Chains A and B, each alone.
Chain A
Amino acid sequence: MTPETLAPAKVAAPRPSHQKRRARAAETRAGYGFLTPWLIGFFLLTVGPMAASLYLSFTDYDLFGAPEFIGLENYQNLFDDPRFRQSVVVTVTYVVIGTPIKLAASLAVAMLLNAKRKGLGFYRSAFYAPSLIAASVSVAIVWKAMFIDDGIVDQVLSLFGIRLGGWVGNPDMTMPMFVLLAVWAFGAPMVIFLAGLKQVPQELYEAAEMDGAGKTRKFINITLPMLSPVIFFNLLMETIGAFQIFGSAFIISGGTGGPAGSTLFYTLYLYIRGFTDFKMGYASAMAWLLVIVVGIITVIFFRTSRSWVHYAGDSK
């Protein structure tokens, strides 16, 4: 910085000059100008439809005629609907079982890939690859083919004397199948864990080693606390993501949530209500209930996080 630029600041003391304010206003305008494409998209494609769905959730709307205002009836009906309850049970089971397993798996792989080895770049890409395609239609189809009667999974398990038959047709086995699919796509949280691991100062480990700490102790007392913001972030993201599972369930069950309702995930039931049964008002009510519940869960996560998440920058 040159003395020239410093000088006016000294003179202009607390209030910025008229000119400067004008310059700043121009900058603000330019800023919004550059934001416009995004803002247009945000209002047209996100806020607008959300407002519409909020309105529709208070109506009886079958897509063909005009929506008819019915107040809270959709929301009340939700609680008398056995399929709604089933979809909640299926989804919560998936979130509660799937998310921790996925996080544990991605952390484990991230720690392996954090070691100093030859060809690490290759391994990192290789392990990330499944995540790029896991949400695709083709993987859901492959998954179904793998877990069907006499599919590859059935055949391999049979070699070990485990005879389960096809998982796809067995209501008790569909959930493990979906959890496996989620865990297989561990790439995104893994990369974030890996970045977090890189930032843990080596001195901490060295100091701990001097004090005679073993591997487990270092993991529990250094790695986990230092990683806690990253764990928190991944936990939040993966939980919200797990509530939204749709594509794979839609493809594997052929859009029905079967067999016997065992894959009737929340969003899938929402879709069935809206687009198969033409109860768009009901579906909108479901969507808003989901937004509210996920919002509440997020708030709870943030509240409890104060007691277990350690931010390196905070002076706590």
Chain B
Amino acid sequence: MTRRTIRFAAVGAALALGLTACGGGGDEGDDGATGGGGTVDPDEEITLTVTWWGNDDRADRYNQAIELFNEEYPNITINPNFSAWPDYWTARATEAAGSALPDVMQMDLAYISQFGSRGQLLDLDPYIGGELDVSGMPESLLAAGQLEAGTVGIPQSTNTLALFYNPAVVTQLGIEPPANDLTWDDYDAWITQAAEAGAGLDPVLYGSGDYTGVFWLFIQHLVQEGNEVFTADGEIAFTEDDMKEWLNRTTDLRADGSLFPTERTVQLAPLGGFTVNEVASEFSWDNFLAGYLADSGAESIEMLPMPLGSSGERGMFQKPSMLLSAGSNTEHPEAAAAFIDFITNDPAVGAIFGTSRGVPATESARSELSAEGTDAQVIAYEESVADDITESVPTLPEGFGSIEATWLRLAEELGYGQITVDEFVEQWFAEAESALA
């Protein structure tokens, strides 16, 4: 081996390094304006790519829905594709850079303005009333998919936060389940009680994980207390003190080990303490019920409304979710609109998805939902909290996905005791400033 050959190899290896980061070309899309609002030509052979995030269960449901769609539109071939939440956004961002987004894609409130305000998403307004019927959807819900650029997403469902508990684990703990009219302090006291009861068991059982690590719960708490979350121009409206107060709710619980340990949570991912039946309760969106039941194998899981705020009100809101958007680069905008219409309104499709994406957004999609089982439980829950849903979901700023991810990461570090609440707040604000800029 000579000096020359080594030098050669080193240059090669170093060059390989340069490949680690390479963005695509700066293609600028064509402002999303397609106009016209034509209809699908039944004789034209059309292929649409359709993509969503989710698990196998959701993929099965989409595939069934696509089969039904093909009975009505035999000339449209659908290429379905799906991935898990984090990878999903990575792939879409890369496609957006090359103006190669799928014809139809599932979209979330956290990302819609990022894609929509740069002309990456098709304005569906020209198709509304034509191929796309949104008459069965409340205006307030439709508004979630409307930006300055027009209607760039059609909400498929609504979600509401709930406190889930597993009666079997509560029984094992030998304590009463959480009450229906809890305050946050009551809930914290219940967690302490559960942890004391579960400490001697094998495996050790807990009442809850650290719920302050869920960004949406902090938002729920702010809304419930009548605080603004984000300003109209997408800036943060709450203060560092609001955040400290929230995170300090569980400081004592963290200190005496009354919360499900972070190191367990990290290792269980993508499952969690609640789905391996070591935690008795967990806050989440109500459409999680089916997934919880499937993952945990529990016989039943109960749902309670949010704890009461200091005014005695719950101040809950519905979050429009699982929007469907079309890429502005699509060659078949009318076919994309027809597909979105079918998934949004068809009663059989509504029955296929049930409440797995949340409570369906349109009357017709709800019309054939099964009257028992999981779907009925979720619907009954939303009906039971109808009077508590007094607020509307805050408008999420561009970059929300990133600040939510930062929150989650810092919560993990807090759980390991590597940072204090004050450091959490300081670091989060520093990152949020650059993410929302």
- In the assembled complex, the Cα of A298 lies from the Cα of B8 at a distance in Å of 12
- In the assembled complex, the Cα of A77 lies from the Cα of B433 at a distance in Å of 13
Of B1, B10, B22, B267, which contacts A49 at CB under 8 A? B22
Please determine whether A170 and B1 come into contact, CB atoms closer than 8 angstroms.
Answer: no
Please determine whether B17 and A46 come into contact, CB atoms closer than 8 angstroms.
Answer: no
Please determine whether A233 and B9 come into contact, CB atoms closer than 8 angstroms.
Answer: yes
Residues in B whose Cβ lies below 8 Å from that of A244: 16-17, 20
Please determine whether A56 and B23 come into contact, CB atoms closer than 8 angstroms.
Answer: yes
Residues in A whose Cβ lies below 8 Å from that of B409: 256, 258, 261
Q: In the complex, what residue of chain A is closest to B22 when comparing beta carbons?
A: A49
Residues in A whose Cβ lies below 8 Å from that of B22: 49-50, 52-53, 284
- In the assembled complex, the Cα of A260 lies from the Cα of B114 at a distance in Å of 28
Contact indicator per residue, chain A 279-316, by CB within 8 Å of chain B (1) or not (0): 01001101110110011001000100000010101000
- In the assembled complex, the Cα of A283 lies from the Cα of B94 at a distance in Å of 14
Please determine whether B416 and A241 come into contact, CB atoms closer than 8 angstroms.
Answer: no
Interface residues on A, range: 35 or more
Please determine whether A53 and B18 come into contact, CB atoms closer than 8 angstroms.
Answer: yes
Report if A82 contacts B (CB, 8 A). yes
Contact (A259, B14) CB under 8 Å given A53-B23, A229-B2, A244-B20: no
Please determine whether B1 and A168 come into contact, CB atoms closer than 8 angstroms.
Answer: no
Please determine whether A65 and B262 come into contact, CB atoms closer than 8 angstroms.
Answer: no
Least Cβ distance of B108 to chain A in Å? 14
Report if B19 contacts A (CB, 8 A). yes
- In the assembled complex, the Cα of A142 lies from the Cα of B7 at a distance in Å of 36
Which chain B residues in 126-172 approach chain A with CB under 8 Å?
A: none
Please determine whether A276 and B402 come into contact, CB atoms closer than 8 angstroms.
Answer: yes
Residues in A whose Cβ lies below 8 Å from that of B20: 244, 246, 267, 270, 287, 290
Least Cβ distance of B427 to chain A in Å? 7
Q: In the complex, what residue of chain B is closest to A63 when comparing beta carbons?
A: B97
Of A61, A255, A259, which contacts B416 at CB under 8 A? A259
Residues in A whose Cβ lies below 8 Å from that of B24: 63
Enumerate 17 A-B pairs (CB-CB under 8 Å) in ascending A order: A45-B19, A46-B19, A50-B19, A52-B23, A63-B94, A64-B93, A64-B97, A64-B115, A64-B118, A168-B267, A169-B265, A229-B2, A229-B3, A232-B6, A276-B90, A277-B405, A284-B21
Closest 5 CB pairs of A and B: A169-B263, A287-B21, A49-B22, A64-B118, A169-B267
Q: In the complex, what residue of chain A is closest to B90 when comparing beta carbons?
A: A275
- In the assembled complex, the Cα of A65 lies from the Cα of B97 at a distance in Å of 8
Contact indicator per residue, chain A 105-118, by CB within 8 Å of chain B (1) or not (0): 00000000000000
Question: Is the contact region of chain B dominated by helix, strand, or loop, or is it mixed?
Answer: helix
Please determine whether A274 and B120 come into contact, CB atoms closer than 8 angstroms.
Answer: no
Residues in A whose Cβ lies below 8 Å from that of B6: 229, 232-233, 236
Please determine whether B93 and A291 come into contact, CB atoms closer than 8 angstroms.
Answer: no
Of A62, A65, A196, A229, which contacts B28 at CB under 8 A? A65
Report if B200 contacts A (CB, 8 A). no
A contact set with B: CB distance below 8 Å: 45-46, 49-50, 52-53, 56, 61-67, 77, 82, 148-149, 165-166, 168-171, 196, 229-230, 232-233, 236-237, 240-241, 243-244, 246, 254-256, 258-261, 267, 270, 274-278, 280, 283-284, 286-288, 290-291, 294-295, 298, 302, 309, 311, 313
Residues in A whose Cβ lies below 8 Å from that of B86: 254-255, 276
Least Cβ distance of A36 to chain B in Å? 19
- In the assembled complex, the Cα of A61 lies from the Cα of B24 at a distance in Å of 11
Q: In the complex, what residue of chain B is closest to A287 when comparing beta carbons?
A: B21
Given contacts A52-B23, A275-B93, list 5 more A-B pairs with CB under 8 A.
A63-B24, A64-B118, A237-B13, A261-B413, A284-B21
Least Cβ distance of A99 to chain B in Å? 13
Please determine whether A64 and B266 come into contact, CB atoms closer than 8 angstroms.
Answer: no
Least Cβ distance of B424 to chain A in Å? 12
Residues in A whose Cβ lies below 8 Å from that of B115: 64
Report if B239 contacts A (CB, 8 A). no
Residues in A whose Cβ lies below 8 Å from that of B2: 229, 311, 313
Which chain B residues in 1-53 approach chain A with CB under 8 Å?
A: 1-3, 5-7, 9-10, 13-26, 28
Residues in B whose Cβ lies below 8 Å from that of A230: 1
Residues in B whose Cβ lies below 8 Å from that of A50: 15, 18-19, 22
Residues in B whose Cβ lies below 8 Å from that of A275: 90, 93-94
Residues in A whose Cβ lies below 8 Å from that of B118: 64-65
- In the assembled complex, the Cα of A260 lies from the Cα of B427 at a distance in Å of 14
Please determine whether A302 and B412 come into contact, CB atoms closer than 8 angstroms.
Answer: no
Residues in B whose Cβ lies below 8 Å from that of A309: 3
Residues in A whose Cβ lies below 8 Å from that of B204: none
Residues in A whose Cβ lies below 8 Å from that of B435: 277
- In the assembled complex, the Cα of A244 lies from the Cα of B15 at a distance in Å of 12
Contact indicator per residue, chain B 107-128, by CB within 8 Å of chain A (1) or not (0): 0000000110010100000000
Residues in A whose Cβ lies below 8 Å from that of B23: 52-53, 56, 61, 63, 67, 274, 280, 284
Contact (A274, B21) CB under 8 Å given A294-B14, A311-B2: yes
Least Cβ distance of B335 to chain A in Å? 24
Please determine whether B21 and A286 come into contact, CB atoms closer than 8 angstroms.
Answer: yes
Q: In the complex, what residue of chain B is closest to A147 when comparing beta carbons?
A: B267
Of B7, B18, B262, which contacts A46 at CB under 8 A? B18
Residues in A whose Cβ lies below 8 Å from that of B114: 62, 64, 278
Report if B96 contacts A (CB, 8 A). yes
Report if B418 contacts A (CB, 8 A). yes
Least Cβ distance of B75 to chain A in Å? 33
Report if B89 contacts A (CB, 8 A). yes
Please determine whether A49 and B19 come into contact, CB atoms closer than 8 angstroms.
Answer: yes
Least Cβ distance of A181 to chain B in Å? 17
Which chain B residues in 257-271 approach chain A with CB under 8 Å?
A: 262-267, 269-270
- In the assembled complex, the Cα of A11 lies from the Cα of B94 at a distance in Å of 65
Residues in B whose Cβ lies below 8 Å from that of A267: 20
Least Cβ distance of B420 to chain A in Å? 14
Please determine whether B17 and A291 come into contact, CB atoms closer than 8 angstroms.
Answer: yes
Please determine whether A170 and B263 come into contact, CB atoms closer than 8 angstroms.
Answer: yes
Q: In the complex, what residue of chain B is closest to A77 when comparing beta carbons?
A: B434
Contact indicator per residue, chain B 270-304, by CB within 8 Å of chain A (1) or not (0): 10000000000000000000000000000000000
